[in-house]
Each structure stands twice: as structure tokens, then as C-alpha cells.
Amino acid sequence: MASLWEYANPVKFMRLSGWLLPVTALLAAGLIATGLIWGFFFTPDDYRQGSTVKIIFLHVPSALMAINAWVMMLVASLIWLIRRHHVSALAARAAGPVGATMTLIALMTGAIWGQPMWGTWWAWDPRLTSFLILFLFYIGYIALWSAIEDPDTAADLTSVLCLVGSVFAVLSRYAALFWNQGLHQGASLSVAPGTRMDMTYKLPLYVCMTGFGLLFLALVLAGTRSEIRARRARALLTRERARA
């Protein structure tokens, strides 16, 4: 069986991602469309939340991917720091804008849902606040990559930023448990007994979550391929200038 580290080789990564990308993109589009159509058109209103319960099919998957994207960036950053594989640093870079967008969607859908349900768009609640800080970390991460010209230095510094920001990614996930206060309720989905959500909502939600996960994978694969090409272009330009 091929070792995972083989795909740290850009040529092998490009070959693998070349056929994996269209498959994941098509699956993501199909699952997101199915999950959202199912959730929007074929689920009943909740007895307390009314039709706003339909926002859950966007809010929960995007919030999940906002945190998981940062975890993926953390793992890729650690691989860069320890093993110096360029593909992992470039994959972390590619995940940044995707994670930031997912965080923004989670924040905005949360605010839109919160206005009629809580009576406010925003509250300085532990989970909401940690999510906002996570979003700011995403913006900082993207800005740091763009601000530093040397790609290896940029990868080093952004990896350190990613390690620091991981605190807020963890807080975003568990804030509602750490502080038993604030407006945000606990996890919507749980393996613990005493299930919180009916299967009528759970099934389309699982479809959406899988679709969002595959969308993230497809966008990171596409972004990493672009970063590898951009890196090669930079190397060629540098070589050309050295010859001139």
C-alpha cells in the first residue's frame, strides 16, 4: 500500500487530485443540492422555531466545516513544521479562504436565525464570540500569507499563527460546554442518549454535512493545485532572472 507521504510529492499529488477533484466536486454539488432541497421543501416547520428551523441545514454544516477547516490547517501546518513538505503548507494555505467563508456563513446564518428567535442579531455569547475571533484569525492567516514574499518564511509564520488560532477553533466547538451561560444552545447533534433532533431533520442535515465536507475537500484540492502551479511559476521566474 502506498504511503501517505508519497503524496507530499507535487507530481503525485497533481496526478491523484486530477481525478479526485471532479469526483468530489460532482458528489458535493449533488449532495448539497439534495440536502438543501430536501431540507427546504420537504421538512415540516418546528413547533417552536417555525420555518426558521430550515436555516439549520446551512448553519450547522458551515459551522462544522469552519472548525474542521482550521483543524485540517493545523495538521497540515504541523506536517510542514516537522517534515517540511511543501504540499502540506500549500494545502493549509488553500484551506484558509474556504474556512473563512464557512465561518462567515455560520456567523451570518446564526445572526439571521437569532434575530427572530433570540430577539437580537448578536450577543457576546461565548460560542458566538469565539467564532468571531476564529473568523478574525482566518482573515489574519490569509493576510499573513499574502504579506510575506518568501514562501517558506510565510509557511513558517502562518503555521505558528495556525497553532495559536487552534485555541479558538477548540473554544468555538466547546464554548457552550465550558461556560454554561450565554444564548447559544448545546450541540444540535450528539451521540449521547436523549437525542435532541428528530430524524425528519437529521437525515437531510447529514446529507448537507457530507456535501459541505466534500465541497471543502474539492475546493482545497483545487486551491492546492493552483498553489503548486503558482510555486512552480515563481521558481521558473527566479531561474530565468538568475540566468539573465
Q: Cell 427572530 maps to which residue?
A: 116
Coil/strand/helix, residue 227 = helix
CB of 222 to another protein, least distance (A): 5
- State the cell numbers at 14: 497533481
Q: Does the protein bind another protein through residue 93 (CB under 8 A)? A: no
For another protein, the closer of residues 42 and 124 by Cβ is: 42
Calpha distance 96→166 (Å, rounded): 13
Stretch that binds another protein, among 4-12, 82-90, 108-116, 127-135 (CB under 8 A): 108-116
**Quick check: 225 binds another protein (CB under 8 A)?**
yes
Q: What angle do CA 83, 84, 89 make, to 5 degrees?
A: 115
Residues of span 126-155 touching another protein by CB under 8 A: none
Q: Per-residue string for binding with another protein, 187-216, x by CB under 8 A?
A: ----------------------------x-
45 contacts another protein (rule: CB under 8 A): yes
Burial 151-183 (b: 16+ CB within 10 A, else e): beebbbbbbebbeebbebbbbbbebbeeeeeeb
Q: Given phi > 0 = left and psi -120 to 50 = alpha, else beta, which region is 44?
A: beta
Sole binder of another protein in the list 7, 13, 17, 36 (CB under 8 A): 36
Q: What residues make contact with another protein under the rule CB under 8 A?
A: 36, 40-41, 45, 50-52, 54-55, 58-59, 62, 97-98, 101, 104-105, 108-109, 112-113, 115-116, 215, 219, 222-223, 225-226, 229-230, 232-233, 236-237, 240, 243
